[in-house]
Amino acid sequence: MRYIYNFFLCLILPFLPLRFLWRSRKNKAYRKHLLERFGFLGFQAIKESIWVHAVSLGESIAAVPLIKEMLKQYPGLPIVVTTMTPTGAQAIKKNFPNQVIHLYVPFDYPFVVKRFLNQINPKILIIMETELWPNILYYTAKRNVPIILNNARLSDRSFAGYKKVRKFMQPVLDCITMVLAQSELDGERFLKLGLKPKKLLVTGNIKFDIEISEASLAKAGELRSVIGQERPVWVAASTHKNEEEKVLVAAKKLLEILPDALLILVPRHPERFDFVFDLCESQGFNTVKYSNIKEYTNSTNIILGDVMGQMLMFYGACDLAFVGGSLIPWGGHNLLEPAALAKPVLSGPHLSSFVAISQMLDDARGLVVANDEKALAEKLIELFQDEKLRESLGQAALNVVESYRGATKKTLKIIEKLVV
């Protein structure tokens, strides 16, 4: 099956650089690091390393506590962190400006993967969540390098897709040394795809081990001082195409009841910042970009969060937090960041990527789900008018985070057994 996969990879090889050059129109990092994706790293081979792969922003943020602990535990061993997207790269570089080696993950061609492995010589590969590249797994395992699928999860959509190619998935999963699953449901799904039971361990979700730095809290305090302590402030975080329009409908309805309410709107993808800013302006909102925060006045309706890696600051400065990717059929985003700051957490109904976490928060009465933009506006109005309810929801959300910490320590124990 892998030979068939490689055959199709060869067919698309001439078009692959073109795709990334096309994407570089909006983000130059896609063009700048193209050779890197083909395994040309521009430095001499490393004798040995720890390789951590985090595909995008969410996985990169989740990997931060683990990487910090490994830096302490293995001070003499270089840590190579690969990402697929520039947003993931920015998160790693922001948290580890000099401590780790960041690279873009190699394209999954045998000749590229071999070149890459010869350059970094990993003692272990730790893949965050679910990023199963057949050749990367095959050639890494062939070198007798242990592979951990950490914080592993399978959403409804991913599980349905992998089931259709179960025969192909079996040899892929055989390459993995251990799957450390987020939940029992995720573990069961890996077993149904063909993972051997002895390779499965349910360790919990590493995202519960989120760290709130003093720097983030200080920045949040500074932003709130600019905004003003008395204004009702809410964040709409990690929003997507066709979702901002729904958020703005809710914002308008809220302003009818609370004219001084302020929205901090943070699109998921930086290439959409300008579009979303223009959208807000076209709908009559007095909008200021965070990068131009000096232009903020009491008549500002929306602050557009046009910076990356500052979500905890925005959450820290707000009274309520709506987490996007959930008013449209995307699957949601990380609900635990606002929860860790004891903020009331709101979401849309589409949470297929965070089923276990949303259920935990819902069971603890730490999550408010709005089925559409009208319901979102109603929930916002209700919460802004009831301080005790806000405090109760925020504390319940924080209690969930505190109750389920510990996945990082479990992961480190497994790594310690495998890094020899």
Catalytic residues: 59
The order of strands in the sheet holding 49-53 is: 101-104, 79-83, 49-53, 122-128, 147-152, 178-181, 200-202
106 secondary structure, DSSP code: P
Structure tokens at 372: 């559409």
Q: How many helices (H) and strands (E) does the chain have?
A: 20, 14
Closest CA to 384 of 271, 285, 260: 260
Q: Which residue blocks in 164-240 are alpha helix, DSSP H?
A: 166-174, 184-192, 214-227
- Rg of the chain (C-alpha set): 22
Structure tokens at 64: 């931060």
List, in sequence order, every residue forming a beta bridge with 303; answer none if it has no partner.
264, 288
Q: Give whole-number Cα distances, 34 to 6, 122, 251, 299, in Å.
A: 20, 22, 41, 45
Q: How far is the C-alpha of 339 from the C-alpha of 143, rounded, in Å?
A: 42
What is the enclosing helix (H) or strand (E) of 148?
Answer: strand 147-152
Report CA 44 to chain centroid distance, whole Å.
31
